[in-house]
Structure 1
Amino acid sequence: MARYVDGSQAQGNSAARTKRQQEDQRRMEFRRAIESYAEQRRLLQEIGDDAQLNVWQTVSVDVRQSARPAS
């Protein structure tokens, strides 16, 4: 048996579909931003550990030398 669908239902479905697509797109953008941030942090940790270690070693040597009591 055929069912009659008036124009308002078709428009309602279209509006709901469009809204759902926009929400999905927003979620995906948010997810990509989180993944990008996580990837950047991971890469910075990998390369940053060595760089930070070198900086802190240099700073600690300078501080120790300048902190020696005067004779």
Structure 2
Amino acid sequence: MANDHFGSYQPNAKARKQAEKDQRRMEYRRAIESYCDQRQLLRDIADYPELQDITVWQVASAASQKIAPQAR
């Protein structure tokens, strides 16, 4: 392990850059999944005329509530 002092691991620059790259990739992937979920919900409610007043923001809120318990 690089820079192992008393059990605390301090990653080197290369490992830190890779971790940052992985984090950005996962954020991008989550954004795509969220967008796909929102579009799917809008398609699902399109069959119900009484739900036509639902906005994209309300769909996004519903999707984030569905995802929130998984974030623990």
Larger relative contact order (Cα-Cα within 8 Å, sequence gap ≥ 6): 2
Q: Secondary structure at the match of 2:47?
A: helix
Matched, 1:41 2:38: yes
Give the RMSD, CA atoms, in angstroms: 1.9
Paired amino acid for 1:36: E
**Higher Rg:** 1
More strand by share: 2
What TM-score results when the alignment is normalised by the length of structure 2? 0.51
More helix by share: 1
Q: Which residue of the other structure, out of 8, 16, 21, is the alignment partner of 1:19?
A: 16
Number of residue pairs matched by the alignment:
41
CA–CA distance in 2 between the matches of 1:24 and 1:17?
Answer: 11
Paired amino acid for 2:42: Q
Runs of 4+ in 1 over 3 A off after TM superposition: none
Percent identical across equivalent pairs? 20
Could you list the runs of 5+ residues in structure 1 that have no partner in the other structure?
A: 1-13, 58-71
